[in-house]
Amino acid sequence: MKNEAEGTVARAKLIAQSLSSLFLVTLASGFLHQELRLITPLVFVNVLLGIALLTIVLSTTKKFAPISVLAFLLPFFSKSPLAYSFVFLAIIAILFRSDDLFRNLLILFPGAFVEGTGLAIPLRLTIALSIVLAILTLKIRSFQWPSKPLLALILLVSSLLLTISFSPVDLLTSAKEGSIAYDAYHHSVGVAFFENDSMVHATMRYLRSLGHDTLIIREPISPKLLENVSLLVIETPEKPYNQQEISAIVEFVRKGGSLFILGDHTNIFSCYENLNPLLEEFGILLNFDYSMLWEPHFTSLLGTDVFEETAGATLSVKKWDSCILYSLRYTTWADQGDWEATEHVYMGDLLPGKEDSFGYMPVYAMTWYGDGKVLVSANSDVFSGANLIHNYETMCKIVDLLKKRKDPLKSTLSRAVLAFLLIFGMLRARSSSIKPISCGLLLGLLLLQAYALSSPDWIPEENLIALDVGHGNADGFGPPHIYKAVFLVIFAQHYGFNPILVKEVPEDIHRYRAFITMGPTKPFSKEELERIESYVKSGGILIVFDGRHAETPLAQGNEAANSLLSCFDMRLGEPIGEVSYFGNTSWNYTMAYWFEARQEISPTGEELMKGVNGNITVYSALEVIGGNPLATWRGKAVISEKDYGSGKVLVIGDHTVLRDFVKYEPVFSFPDPELKQFIENIFSILLGGEEQKGD
């Protein structure tokens, strides 16, 4: 009777562990969100995943109690929760020789394999396999290694190589020769900022600075045109591709070329209508929807997130051996477009509805076709010059993936041989095959994660400008949302520079032509101050934008800027003008705590003010004390420069000066042409940049 009761308890314990593992799989994969049409905060998902992992670890043996905290915290730090959970539990199972954990690993195996490799197997099939394996684990009493070492080796190596084979990584091949070509015939590269230079040109210049040959195509696609091309980039085409062009592109990929396609939401730029006839050849389609991305969360095999705004589509991936590189899962939905809403670029009601998609939604996918590769993005921001600074590493990893030749492991023959060896081993070893197969997947996932953590050489050797996002707000998207320093990026690129976002003063700061900080609130360390002072003294250029900060409980003063300027006997003084509160911004929304002391400052006629023939508008300016005045208000300097050693310091006493730099409606314009001229002078006269002409 006692033995029967103990057996019932043991069986109940196994069932509880299996249910915990199944819950982990269904939640982490996005299956619950997909089937129940859920939208939840990411932190809520991470807490539940942490509890599930904690339950699995503690229910196996009390020896794991010291590491249970790590189990709970793991989901908060991993972009691929299933893959990382499998790796974490596999290591514990091997170290502690726990059969109970190996049972859980068997349940996690399908999800970990699919997520870790990015394999586009339907989610419902993956969950069904996990349920079948959960039932099978209840019938397996113990997990042993195969008695024959050779059999164990066959199982381990074949599962390892199959994991690598179905991943997006090509480990055994070298890069292809040939140019990176951008299709500017079907997509206009014109931009309102500059007459002959666009953000696409800036991206192509960046790729050239890394050693790639680039080409901008301005005529219909033909086989001859693609002869010396290794990677063709197609972005939101406004013109349709005819059948001859589609055939030329398909044949180009089949023979080993790579294709990088960037779509976008609904049918903006007619991308849905013009891309899908081509994409259909490769088994990936752009959906007619709008992905409502409220909380940035991507599952990435590339090891880096894409900087996104709340605009993009999702993908339908038809080929199971394709790879999902990024996906949405928990915090959002895909709103179906509306063909009647032409005035709103076909967007729907922007509310969750029955016709919308939830849960697991691919946004980046890659597939193989013949000897070539096709990578499709459902958002075009990654290739934009202004957003490029957030996506350098992503861009370089994408180029590295696509420029590599197809790995022999990815051939049908290789996969068939490996699958045969794996099945042969499983038939011979039976339940003893579980441990070596799990270890093979573990090693494969570790190799893939090592690749994901590796960083490509994404920083060019020359023409660098450091934009400080560690102390200030150089990206233009943090509070108070009105700096719009993204325009500094666009103008820097137009004058031939490569702006780089830095979170601290780089140790190799002497490589940079300038260091720019905008509205700094975080103090600079003593080492950073010494590094900047030495940098300027030896010929570097420091540019500081700072003024009066917003009047909120979290408002910061000018201590950070003044600690930096004190190294050069300069500082920010009192505000100029009288403060008046306002509600409207250039984006037409109200934030009551914003204020302005709108004033007109007059140039002094110095060289850096060349061509500035009128006043410049400032909004929250402070007097700049020290240095040579370049623009003043009633005799008080608002913009000043100072020579220091072989370098120079430029101080603009208003970090919101770019707030209304551009006006988009009713027609594109620069409301303050004098400010535009001054910004251009910074990059041309002060930094010695050369205006680019769209090459």
What average pLDDT does the segment 135-154 reach? 87
Side chain identity at residue 28, one-letter code? A
Within 8 A by CB and 6+ apart from 521, the residues are 471, 472, 549, 556, 560
Write down the pLDDT at residue 3: 60
Q: What is the mean pLDDT of the chain?
A: 87
Q: What is the pLDDT of residues 479-510, one digit of tens each?
A: 333 345 678 888 899 999 999 989 999 999 99
Q: What is the pLDDT of residues 159-204, one digit of tens each?
A: 999 999 999 888 888 889 999 999 999 988 766 677 778 888 888 9
Cα torsion 235, 119, 313, 304: sign: negative
1/400: higher pLDDT: 400
What average pLDDT does the segment 564-578 reach? 92
- pLDDT of residue 232 exceeding 60, the answer is yes
Within 8 A by CB and 6+ apart from 514, the residues are 465, 466, 540, 541, 542, 543, 686, 687
Write down the pLDDT at residue 589: 42
- pLDDT of residue 639 exceeding 50, the answer is yes
Cα torsion 448, 452, 455, 460: sign: positive
What is the pTM assigned to this prediction? Answer: 0.90
304/339: higher pLDDT: 339
Q: Which residue has the tokens 């891309």?
A: 275
Write down the pLDDT at residue 425: 94
| Residue 667 pLDDT grade (very low, low, confident, very high; cuts 50, 70, 90) | low
Listed residue (305, 317, 302) closest to 360, CA to CA: 317
Rounded Cα distance, 263 and 379, in Å: 5
Write down the pLDDT at residue 452: 80
Write down the pLDDT at residue 584: 44
| Residue 478 pLDDT grade (very low, low, confident, very high; cuts 50, 70, 90) | very low
E strand segments, 76-157: none
- Domain borders along the chain are 1-143, 179-406, 464-686
Pick the CATH number of 179-406 from 3.40.50.880, 3.40.50.300, 3.40.50.11540, 3.90.1150.10: 3.40.50.880
480/635: higher pLDDT: 635
Write down the pLDDT at residue 664: 66
- Beta strands 258-262 and 372-377 are parallel
| Residue 477 pLDDT grade (very low, low, confident, very high; cuts 50, 70, 90) | very low
Rounded Cα distance, 222 and 226, in Å: 7
Write down the pLDDT at residue 244: 97
Counting Cβ atoms within 10 Å, is residue 425 exposed (0-12), middle (13-18) or buried (19+)?
Answer: buried
117-121, 328-332, 593-597, range with greatest mean pLDDT: 117-121
**Element spanning 92, H or E:** helix 81-96
Rounded Cα distance, 396 and 261, in Å: 15
- pLDDT of residue 416 exceeding 80, the answer is yes
3-state helix, strand, coil in the chain (%, to 5): 40, 20, 40
- pLDDT of residue 366 exceeding 60, the answer is yes
| Residue 293 pLDDT grade (very low, low, confident, very high; cuts 50, 70, 90) | low
- Distance from the Cα of residue 656 to its chain's centroid: 27
- pLDDT of residue 551 exceeding 50, the answer is yes
| Residue 49 pLDDT grade (very low, low, confident, very high; cuts 50, 70, 90) | very high
- pLDDT of residue 356 exceeding 50, the answer is yes
| 47-61, 204-218, 466-480: least confidently modelled range | 466-480
545/671: higher pLDDT: 545
Pick the CATH number of 464-686 from 3.50.50.60, 1.10.357.10, 3.60.21.10, 3.40.50.880: 3.40.50.880
Write down the pLDDT at residue 585: 44
Q: What is the pLDDT of residues 332-341, one digit of tens each?
A: 899 999 998 8
Q: What is the pLDDT of residues 65-88, one digit of tens each?
A: 677 888 899 998 887 889 999 999
Q: Are 211 and 158 in contact (CB under 8 A)?
A: no
Write down the pLDDT at residue 418: 96
What average pLDDT does the segment 236-257 reach? 96
Q: List the structure tokens of 507.
A: 């140790």
- pLDDT of residue 386 exceeding 80, the answer is no
Write down the pLDDT at residue 80: 83
Report the interhelical angle of 149-165 vs 99-117 (nearest 10°).
30
Rounded Cα distance, 48 and 70, in Å: 14
Percentage with pLDDT > 90 across the chain:
58
Q: What is the pLDDT of residues 267-278, one digit of tens each?
A: 988 999 999 999
| 122-131, 239-248, 430-439, 628-637: least confidently modelled range | 430-439
| 160-164, 289-293, 464-468, 500-504: least confidently modelled range | 289-293
Listed residue (341, 289, 281) closest to 311, CA to CA: 289
- Residue 56, phi then psi, degrees to nearest 5: -60, -45
- pLDDT of residue 521 exceeding 80, the answer is yes
What average pLDDT does the segment 662-678 reach? 80
| 307-316, 353-362, 363-372: least confidently modelled range | 307-316
Write down the pLDDT at residue 326: 86
Report the interhelical angle of 99-117 vs 2-28 (nearest 10°).
10
Residue 96 gets the label, from left (phi > 0), alpha (psi -120 to 50) or beta, of alpha
- pLDDT of residue 604 exceeding 70, the answer is yes
